[in-house]
Amino acid sequence: MIQLYSPLHFFGTYYRMIQQNFIDMEKMLELLQEEETVKDSPDATQMVVKQGEVTFENVTFSYDVRQTALKGISFTVPAGKTVALVGPSGSGKSTILRLLFRFYDPSSGSISIDGQDIRSVTQESLRKNIGVVPQDTVLFNDTIMYNIRYGNIHATDDEIIQAAKAAQIHDSIMQFPDQYETKVGERGLRLSGGEKQRLAIARTIVKNPPVILLDEATSALDTTTERHIQEALNTMTKDRTTLVIAHRLSTIVNADLILVIKDGKVVESGSHEELIRQGTESGQGVYFEMWEKQLDDTPSADSSTLALEAD
């Protein structure tokens, strides 16, 4: 079976081709056929993920010869932990996620999961182990049930409902005209940004992958929606290795590791406390300055829901 994935911000070209957020399956297939840039090696094996440790080793990558997007990136995300990627726009955060999903191969260096180089395994087996939650979820013009089941076509109705509950979207679905059979998309019910994101979370919970790539939404949400989404994210990422392009302070502060990306390099890494302590002691630091700037910019806001503006 061909595995399909939501076009997302970090999928770049796909995303630009599908600016609207609803799509039919046929169109998606056409796009995926056009966009294949890496091929399985003839002796590719099946990826087997037992722990989910992700390692980037000296990864360099260029989209074109004029500019290097990633310049020798190295880091390890231990199994089940969360790493937050922060840094200015264009610094390379999305590129890191795209490479892990193997939309492109590094020009040098290697990426591995549980010690298996992702170039040595089939793309299908790699992508089966990775869940993707984009900023802007693409929904199919079909029912809610179908849209969640897309994460795992073998899921039972009960599993889908359990996932929707864990993603904090079940109660909203029960208010829709035909509940789980309600059609969504351009020819059906229009969902809010927060509802679409929770649907994407439910889809990922149904898929049950050991590794998750998350491009956190930047859009402002009301406090209740924000809390629901944070709870849904916590459930989804618990015990799963997560790489998140983080905008919410609540996510960043609680991440096991923060990587500050600038000009295609990791310029700082550590926990929130470590980076703030280093910044306070030295009076400088990219993360420390981003943090200070943000607190200055929004003195009266609730710091747990602020967007971390990096540039």
CB of 89 to ligand ATP, least distance (A): 3
Q: How far is the CB of 71 from ligand ATP (least distance, A)?
A: 11
18 contacts: CB under 8 Å, gap ≥ 6: 7, 27, 31, 138
Rounded alpha-carbon distances, angstroms, from residue 219 to 14, 154, 197: 21, 33, 11
The Cβ-side half-sphere exposure at 155, using a 13 Å CA radius, reads 24
> Which residue's CB is nearer to ligand ATP, number 33 or number 89?
89
On the 0-12 / 13-18 / 19+ scale of CB atoms within 10 A, 17 is middle
DSSP character for 240? S
In 10 A of CB 293, how many CB atoms? Answer: 14
DSSP state of 64: B
Complex with ligand ATP: residue 12 or 78, whichever CB lies closer:
12
Question: Which positions from 205 through 234 interact with ligand ATP, judged by CB under 6 A?
Answer: none
- Select the span of 34-42, 64-72, 158-166, 228-236 touching ligand ATP (CB under 6 A): 64-72
* Pattern 71-110, ligand ATP, x by CB under 6 A: ----------------x-xxxxxxx---------------
Q: How far is the CB of 38 from ligand ATP (least distance, A)?
A: 14
CB of 297 to ligand ATP, least distance (A): 18
Taking CB under 6 A as the binding criterion, the range among 60-68, 112-120, 188-196, 296-304 that sits at the site for ligand ATP is 60-68
Q: Work out whether 69 is an interface residue with ligand ATP (CB under 6 A).
A: yes
- Rounded to the nearest 5 degrees, what angle is found at the Cα of 183, between the Cα atoms of 175 and 25? 145
Q: Tokens in use for 253? A: 């502060």
Please report how close the Cβ of residue 101 comes to ligand ATP at its closest, in angstroms. Answer: 13
List contacts with ligand ATP (CB under 6 A): 12-13, 63-64, 67, 69, 87, 89-95
